[in-house]
């Protein structure tokens, strides 16, 4: 069994105050859709150029502690032939590898899915470690409706994620667990809070059952807010109260920290909600460090500035730094919409 104490140091670095984790781990399919939305024809080279734009941005290390990579990215390189993982390591940024292989329908459970990827995971983990990764991520996807998620779906996905976490720790990689409760839907804030609370309880119960060291785990969580099509959209203050109440009822104190996904929110809304959570955190006696781990919430303005053009790279990198700086301020409760 691997000594998990070195992973405590990895967690501390990733959860450094005023820094966050850049989630640049979109699958090839997801990345292609984003490029197509910009009016671009997706190609492996265009995907590489976009990743290069992100990872070579001067000064990003001031705001970024880790970057989540897809398999295709950790194997890729800059124009000069430097591996992307080495670019990040040279900046003092920890490479994090997404290791799940997406979702498949949960047989006999309509509208529910299960995450796959346990096959050959131990072997892949060793390979990623040798490539420079020191942490990993696994995502589960939960949908809120009148009859979902079911307890059977939660338990099955939770046990799979717990096995992932155990395998990662034994391979020397810090596991980031991401049970994402989707923002999409017409559910109320109260319903979102109830589902997120139950989800986290079930998932952490499975982690304990599999003897995962919770001091060497980071939770990547949804913010708790009413569904995207609910008539009453949650204010930042409501999001902060519901989110922190949820964590108090479901996340063990031994977990070192929680990072937030943007989960379909606009960049401005995700940053405003993060800021409200940070303000309430400062007033509360909480055992966890909080940080951001946004994808769309950071990258959307970057992509819109880039548009696949080499001459737009400096402008796109400036947009990246802008959003990182705003989220760094929000992490300290010092953000204002006037800064946009």
Average pLDDT over residues 303-310: 98
Average pLDDT over residues 54-61: 98
Give the percent of the chain with pLDDT over 90: 99
Average pLDDT over residues 98-126: 97
Average pLDDT over residues 269-288: 97
CB atoms within 10 A of CB 101: 17
Average pLDDT over residues 216-226: 98
Of the candidates 178, 190, 119, 106, the one whose C-alpha atom is nearest the C-alpha of residue 149 is: 106
The pLDDT of residue 2 is: 75
Of the candidates 18, 37, 40, the one whose C-alpha atom is nearest the C-alpha of residue 296 is: 37
Kindly list the catalytic residues. Answer: 178, 220
| Whether residue 1 has pLDDT greater than 90 | no
Average pLDDT over residues 98-119: 97
Tokens representing 192?
A: 């979102």
User: How far is the CA of 150 from the CAs of 32, 142, 153, 193, 249, in angstroms?
Assistant: 32, 9, 5, 16, 20
Total domains in the fold of the chain: 1
Tokens representing 338?
A: 């006037």
Q: Give 86-97 pLDDT, tens digit per residue.
A: 999 999 999 999
Average pLDDT over residues 195-221: 98
* pTM of the entire predicted model: 0.97
Tokens representing 217?
A: 């785990």
Burial of 16 (C-beta count, 10 Å sphere; 0-12/13-18/19+) = middle
All residues at 6 or more sequence positions from 233 whose CB lies less than 8 Å from its CB, including other chains: 225, 226
Q: Give 25-34 pLDDT, tens digit per residue.
A: 999 999 999 9
All residues at 6 or more sequence positions from 23 whose CB lies less than 8 Å from its CB, including other chains: 68, 261, 293, 294, 295, 298
Domain of 232, in residue numbers: 5-339
| Whether residue 113 has pLDDT greater than 80 | yes
Of the candidates 259, 247, 272, the one whose C-alpha atom is nearest the C-alpha of residue 323 is: 272
Average pLDDT over residues 160-184: 98
The pLDDT of residue 83 is: 98
261: domain CATH number?
A: 3.20.20.70
């Amino acid at each position: 069994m691997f000594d998990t104490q070195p992973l405590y140091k990895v967690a501390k670095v990733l959860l450094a105050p005023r820094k966050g984790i850049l989630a640049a781990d979109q699958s090839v399919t997801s990345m292609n859709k984003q490029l197509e939305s910009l009016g671009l024809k997706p190609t492996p080279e265009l995907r590489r150029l976009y990743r290069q734009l992100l990872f070579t941005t001067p000064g990003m290390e001031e705001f970024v502690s880790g970057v989540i990579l897809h398999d295709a990215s950790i194997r890729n390189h800059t124009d000069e032939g430097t591996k992307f993982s080495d670019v990040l390591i040279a900046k003092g940024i920890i490479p994090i590898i997404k290791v799940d292989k997406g979702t498949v329908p949960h047989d006999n459970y309509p509208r529910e899915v299960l995450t796959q990827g346990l096959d050959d995971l131990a072997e892949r983990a060793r390979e990623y470690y040798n490539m420079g990764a020191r942490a990993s991520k696994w995502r589960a996807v939960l949908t809120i409706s009148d009859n979902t998620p079911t307890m059977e779906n939660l338990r099955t996905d939770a046990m799979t994620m717990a096995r992932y976490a155990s395998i990662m720790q034994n391979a020397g990689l810090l596991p980031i667990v991401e049970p994402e409760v989707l923002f999409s839907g017409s559910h109320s804030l109260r319903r979102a809070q109830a589902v997120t609370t139950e989800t986290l309880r079930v998932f952490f119960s499975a982690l304990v059952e599999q003897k995962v060291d919770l001091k060497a785990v980071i939770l990547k969580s949804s913010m708790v807010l009413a569904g995207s099509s609910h008539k009453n959209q949650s204010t930042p203050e409501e999001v902060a109260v519901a989110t922190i109440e949820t964590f108090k009822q479901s996340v063990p104190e031994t977990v070192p920290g929680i990072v937030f996904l943007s989960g379909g929110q606009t960049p401005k809304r995700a940053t405003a909600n993060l800021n409200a959570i940070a303000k309430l955190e400062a007033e509360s006696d909480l055992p966890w460090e909080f940080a951001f781990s946004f994808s769309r919430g950071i990258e959307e303005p970057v992509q819109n500035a880039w548009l696949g053009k080499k001459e737009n790279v400096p402008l796109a990198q400036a947009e990246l730094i802008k959003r990182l700086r705003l989220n760094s301020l929000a992490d300290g409760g010092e953000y204002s919409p006037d800064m946009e």
